[in-house]
Amino acid sequence: MALYSNYSEESLTALRVELEQQLALYKSENLDLNMARGGKPCTQQLDLSNGLLDITIPYETDPNKDYRNYGTLEGLEETRQLFADILEVKPEEVIIGGNSSLNMMYSTLAKAMLFGTIGSERPWAQEDKLKFLCPVPGYDRHFSICELLDIEMISVPMTQDGPDMDLVESLVREDASIKGIWCVPKYSNPTGITYSDDVVKRLASMETAAKDFRIMWDNAYVVHDLYDESTSLYNIMEACRDAGNDNRPYLYTSMSKVTFAGAAVAAMATSKANHEFTLRIMGVQTIGSDKINQFRHVEFLKDMAGVKNHMKKHAEIIRPKFNKVLSILSKELDGLDIANWSKPIGGYFINLDVMQGCAKEVVATAESVGLKLTPAGATYPYKKRPKR
Ligand code: PLP
The Cα 295–Cα 64 span in angstroms is 15
Q: Are 190 and 143 in contact (CB under 8 A)?
A: no
Mutate to test the pocket of ligand 1, among 218, 260, 265 (most ligand atoms within 8 A of CB): 218
Side-chain half-sphere of 112: how many Cα atoms within 13 Å? 27
Helix 359-368 and helix 9-28: axis angle, to 10°?
A: 40
* CA-based torsion, 240, 238, 169, 134: positive or negative: negative
Nearest atom in ligand 1 to the alpha carbon of residue 102 is 16
Which atom of ligand 1 is found nearest the CA of 348?
5
Between the CA of 295 and the centroid of ligand 1 the distance, in Å, is: 22
Nearest CA owner, ligand 1 atom 8: 39
Pocket residues for ligand 1 (CB within 6 Å)? 39, 100-102, 139, 184, 189, 218, 220, 254, 256, 262, 266
The minimum-distance atom of ligand 1 relative to the CA of 40 is 8
Q: Which atom of ligand 1 is nearest to the CA of 184?
A: 3
CA 221 / ligand 1 centre spacing (Å): 9
- What separation in angstroms does the CA of 222 have from each of 235, 254, 305, 308? 12, 9, 14, 11
Contact 189, 138 (CB under 8 A): yes
d(CA 90, CA 55): 27
Q: Tell me the CA distances in angstroms from 286 to 70, 78, 105, 278, one per residue in order.
A: 10, 20, 16, 12
> pTM for this structure?
0.95
Residue spans of the chain under pLDDT 70 = 1, 37-38, 388
| Atom from ligand 1 closest to the CA of residue 139 | 3
Spatial separation of the C-alpha atoms in residues 253 and 371, rounded to whole Å: 30
Question: What distances in angstroms separate CA 63 from CA 74, 296, 352, one per listed residue?
Answer: 17, 18, 53
Distance in Å, CA 268 to ligand 1 centroid:
13
Cα of 160 to ligand 1 centre, how many Å?
22
Which residue's alpha carbon is at the smallest distance from atom 1 of ligand 1? Answer: 220
Residue 225 to residue 86: CA distance in whole angstroms: 13
**Ligand 1 pocket check: which of 108, 142, 250, 254 to mutate, most ligand atoms within 8 Å of Cβ?**
254
* Integer angstrom CA distances of residue 382 from 66, 141, 147: 46, 11, 8
Neighbouring C-beta atoms of residue 343, cutoff 10 Å: 12
Ligand 1 atom at minimum distance from 262 CA: 14
- 167 vs 20, 34, 137, 173, 238, CA distance in Å? 43, 36, 16, 10, 23
CA 203, 205, 209, 214 torsion-angle sign: positive
Chain segment 158-168, per-residue pLDDT in tens? 999 999 999 99
First to last CA, the chain: 25
Which atom of ligand 1 is nearest to 37's Cα?
Answer: 8
Q: What separation in Å is there between the alpha carbon of 142 and the centre of ligand 1?
A: 9
Q: What does the pLDDT read at residue 59?
A: 87
- C-alpha 18 – ligand 1 centre gap (Å): 41
Atom index in ligand 1 nearest the CA of residue 99 equals 15
Whose Cα sits closest to atom 7 in ligand 1?
A: 39
Residue 347 CB coordination number (10 Å): 28
Report how far ligand 1's centroid is from the alpha carbon of 101 (Å).
7
What distance in angstroms lies between residue 39's CA and the mean position of ligand 1's atoms?
Answer: 8
Ligand 1 mean position, distance from CA 240 (Å) = 24
Dihedral angle computed from the Cα positions of residues 168, 170, 173 and 179, in that order, rounded to the nearest 10 degrees: -30
Q: What is the CA radius of gyration of the chain?
A: 23
Q: Write the residue with the smallest CA distance to atom 11 of ligand 1.
A: 102
Taking the CA of residue 189 as reference, the ligand 1 atom at the shortest distance is 3
Q: How far is the CA of 301 from the centre of ligand 1 (A)?
A: 20
Contact status, residue 252 vs residue 217, Cβ threshold 8 Å: yes
